[in-house]
Amino acid sequence: MSTFHIEAKQGEIADTVLMPGDPLRAKFIAETYLENPICYNRVRNMFGYTGTYHGRKISVQGSGMGMGSIAIYAHELIADYGVKQIIRVGTCGALVPHLQLGQVILAVSASGDSSANMIKFQEGHYAASANFELLVNAFQKAKELNISTVQGDIFSTDSFYDDGPQRWDKWVSNGIICVEMESQILYTIAKKMGARALSLLTVSDNIVTGKAATPQEREHSYKDMIKIALEVA
Ligand code: HPA
């Protein structure tokens, strides 16, 4: 059995899937943190691995960038492989000056400009939100691990390059703290299909101050986020 984009056989993918955007990140996470990782997907080099973490079966699947891409993988994982929870582990650009590079964010809700959501909800604006149990669990696990987190409302955009930071003023004045490109449709699909989803994000750049993390800084803070995700999983 395979889908358009995933060549795994039935049973090769765990109930819980960690989803970084970058498929090489998926490979890195699997090879670094999981015991006996096995690659189940090479289609389009969008690598997916299954292994165990403290004896528990977990998969890691690259999502690609943007809502069009993550929507495909989230849909096929849930609909065709019976996946029950997806934990996105990604990066974001901070929209408020006080958010430091490397800060881990638990995305409570994801507003956005995704045409995918606009096609689905033409007569209103759907409130895409995290699974509450996963969110609370991540909050508590981070505390136990002594990793600071910020819980907040985020924005998912289809457009990485914008006309300027002023685009974000009205969103920030309505409580949005950072921007990325995947969570809104992930939350929508998970709710629709009866699965649980949560996005954990690390601040890789600050759009207000212009600061961007070095690769070493990114590596370090990314590890904190992965630790939380693995404990939640
Ligand atoms: N914009 C959109 N997505 C992002 C950013 C950004 O600045 N940083 C990380 N993901």
Q: Which contiguous run of DSSP H or E holds residue 186?
A: helix 183-193
3-state secondary structure of 199: strand
Residue type, 116: A
pLDDT tens-digit profile of 17-31? 999 999 999 999 999
Is 207 a pocket residue for ligand 1 (Cβ < 6 Å)? yes
User: Predicted confidence band at 214 (pLDDT cuts at 50, 70, 90)?
Assistant: confident
- Provide the pLDDT for residue 142: 98
- DSSP code of residue 54: T
Can you tell me the mean pLDDT for 220-227? 90
pLDDT tens-digit profile of 51-69? 999 999 999 999 999 999 9
Nearest-CA residue for ligand 1 atom 5 is 93
The token pair that represents 58 in the structure block: 């977990």
pLDDT tens-digit profile of 126-182? 999 999 999 999 999 999 999 999 999 999 999 999 878 889 999 999 999 999 999
Nearest-CA residue for ligand 1 atom 7 is 93
Give yes or no for residue 220 having a pLDDT over 80.
no
pLDDT tens-digit profile of 1-18? 799 999 999 999 999 999
Q: Is 224 labeled as catalytic in the residue annotation?
A: no
The dihedral of CA 33, 36, 42, 48: what is its sign?
A: negative
Give the position, in ligand 1's atom list, of the atom nearest the Cα of 92.
9
- Provide the pLDDT for residue 70: 98
- Provide the pLDDT for residue 110: 98
The token pair that represents 224 in the structure block: 């904190």
Average pLDDT, the chain: 95
d(C-alpha 18, C-alpha 94), whole Å: 22
Intra-chain end-to-end CA distance of the chain, in Å: 26
d(C-alpha 138, C-alpha 141), whole Å: 5
Which residues are registered as beta bridge partners of 19? 88
Which residue do the tokens 């629709």 mark?
Answer: 192
Give yes or no for residue 221 having a pLDDT over 80.
no
User: What are the residues whose beta carbons fall under 8 Å from the beta carbon of 195, sequence distance 6 or more?
Assistant: 78, 83, 84, 85, 86, 189
- Provide the pLDDT for residue 121: 92
CA 210 to chain centre: 23
User: Predicted confidence band at 34 (pLDDT cuts at 50, 70, 90)?
Assistant: very high
Residue 56 Cα to ligand 1 midpoint, Å, equals: 32
Contact between residue 45 and residue 54 where contact means Cβ atoms under 8 Å apart: no
Q: Kindly name the residue from 22, 80, 158, 205 that is annotated as catalytic.
A: 205
Residue 93 Cα to ligand 1 midpoint, Å, equals: 4
- DSSP code of residue 15: S
